[in-house]
Amino acid sequence: MRTQVAIIGGGPAGLLLSQLLHRRGIDSVVLERKTKEYVLGRIRAGVLEQGLIRLMEEAGCAERMHAEGFTHDGTQISYGDEMFRVDFAELTGTSVMVYGQTEVTRDLYAAREAAGGKTEFNVEDVVIHNADSAAPHVSYRVGGAARRIDCDFIAGCDGFHGISRQAIPLDVRREYEKIYPFGWLGVLSETPPVNHELIYANSPRGFALCSMRNDKLSRYYVQCSLSDSPGDWTDRAFWEELKRRIPAAQADQLVTGPSIEKSIAPLRSFVTEPMRWGRLFLCGDAAHIVPPTGAKGLNTAASDVHYLYNGLRDFYENGSSRGIDSYSENALKRVWKVERFSWWFSSLLHRYPDQSEFDLKIQIAELEFLRSNKAAQLAMAENYVGLPY
């Protein structure tokens, strides 16, 4: 099989890249190790920056998002029983949209299928060959049958545990990592959200987040021990703990119900450099991970797609390699700024095992400074709604 761009990974990053390329007449094949149903069954956050919204529009996949998504002009931050609002619209003139990552992926699959795009599911034994040459190819197996794709370029959109990053030699890549000493216990419930905007809560008992998927489906999180498992938490224990961590007025309004999904996610910050080796380009979680505080994972993957898509478009349409040659440098500049924001926001809201009394006082002082200082709120809002590409 021959294509122009082989895309490894059928999640939102790979699908978005394939659809954008298709709209410019650039052929691609997407390889996904799981089934479509499995990919769409993964529950992920869904706060979309304006940059991702514009890319979905350019990909021709924004109609349902605009019809069903919820525009959020700000967010709530609490500490103890104190709560204040950061007004994105007033501070930056823009907003974010709450629209589940699963729904983004569903829309992209629908567009790819309507366009007749080639997607291979249940692929195994994927190997990248000759990425540092002018003639790369990818070998793999489907149902025991060996297959091969010859291509001009390879986009590694296969996540943190994928094979793409590992294809870059160890003497070429350098990795940076921070492991956080806690996780997030998340619960999805068919209940109305406690607030029409997200609530980020700093509590003496640990962090909590009140989020939503729509007006009848809520997503809540509490900071938990890395040694916990979802089975350690009954629904009742979760709801009681959440109520202890948010302001009393919101706790009194909280509608509880049976969980329909419960999971624990560890938190890490991770970056690999460079994000390009020869004709192999890393996108999204294959190159970097952020803690979920601030909802930057999907959005940062989208910024990678922006840089790579435009670089490939310039190559095929104008014969220029400038965009692909500068891809890693441009993407990493933004990645590190996003890493900084996610680290700062996590540090502001969580309780750490080694925090001293001094550290706790500084954390509260930082929250009160953010509450009272418009310049600090502007800096936060600019990062939250999305730094420019």
pLDDT digits (tens, 9 = 90+) for 315-346: 999 999 999 999 999 999 999 999 999 999 99
92-127 pLDDT, tens per residue?
999 999 998 999 999 999 999 999 999 999 999 999
**pLDDT at residue 297 above 70?**
yes
**Is 100 or 233 the better-scoring residue by pLDDT?**
233
How far from 355 is each of 76, 292, 347, 358, 360, CA to CA, in Å?
A: 24, 21, 11, 8, 7
Residues 6 or more apart in contact with residue 34 via CB below 8 angstroms:
10, 121, 122
The strand pair at 123-129 and 259-273 is best described as unpaired
Nearest CA to 307 out of 280, 331, 332 is that of 331
48-78 pLDDT, tens per residue?
999 999 999 999 999 999 999 999 999 999 9
**Structural domains present in the chain:** 5-70+98-177+268-345 (3.50.50.60), 180-267+351-385 (3.30.9.10)
Residue 168 · residue 295 · CB < 8 Å: no
Using DSSP's 3-state secondary structure scheme, residue 337 falls into helix
The strand pair at 174-189 and 217-224 is best described as antiparallel
Instruction: Identify the DSSP state of 17.
Output: H
Residue 124 · residue 142 · CB < 8 Å: yes
| pLDDT value for 78 | 98
Nearest CA to 83 out of 197, 216, 240, 224 is that of 197
What whole-number distance in Å separates Cα of residue 270 and Cα of residue 378? 26
| pLDDT value for 43 | 64
| pLDDT value for 40 | 87
How many Cβ atoms sit within 10 Å of the Cβ of residue 159?
Answer: 21
C-alpha angle 324-329-330 in degrees, rounded to nearest 5: 80
What average pLDDT does range 280-306 have in this prediction? 96
Residue 95 tokens read as 């907003």
Predicted structure pTM score: 0.95
Percentage of residues in the chain with pLDDT exceeding 90?
Answer: 95
- Pinpoint the alpha helices (H) of 230-373: 235-245, 248-253, 297-318, 322-325, 327-349, 357-372
**pLDDT at residue 44 above 80?**
no
Structure confidence at residue 42 as a pLDDT band (50, 70, 90):
confident
Cis ω before 274 (30° cut-off from 0): yes
Residue 76 · residue 199 · CB < 8 Å: yes
What average pLDDT does range 8-24 have in this prediction? 97
What whole-number distance in Å separates Cα of residue 208 and Cα of residue 91? 25
182-226 pLDDT, tens per residue?
999 999 999 999 999 999 999 999 999 999 988 899 999 999 999
| pLDDT value for 278 | 98
362-382 pLDDT, tens per residue?
999 999 999 999 999 999 999
| pLDDT value for 95 | 97
Average of per-residue pLDDT values in the chain: 96
Residue 56 tokens read as 């979905």
**Residues known to be catalytic:** 72, 200, 292, 296, 384
Residue 349 · residue 201 · CB < 8 Å: yes
Amino acid (1-letter code) at residue 338: V
| pLDDT value for 213 | 84
| pLDDT value for 318 | 98
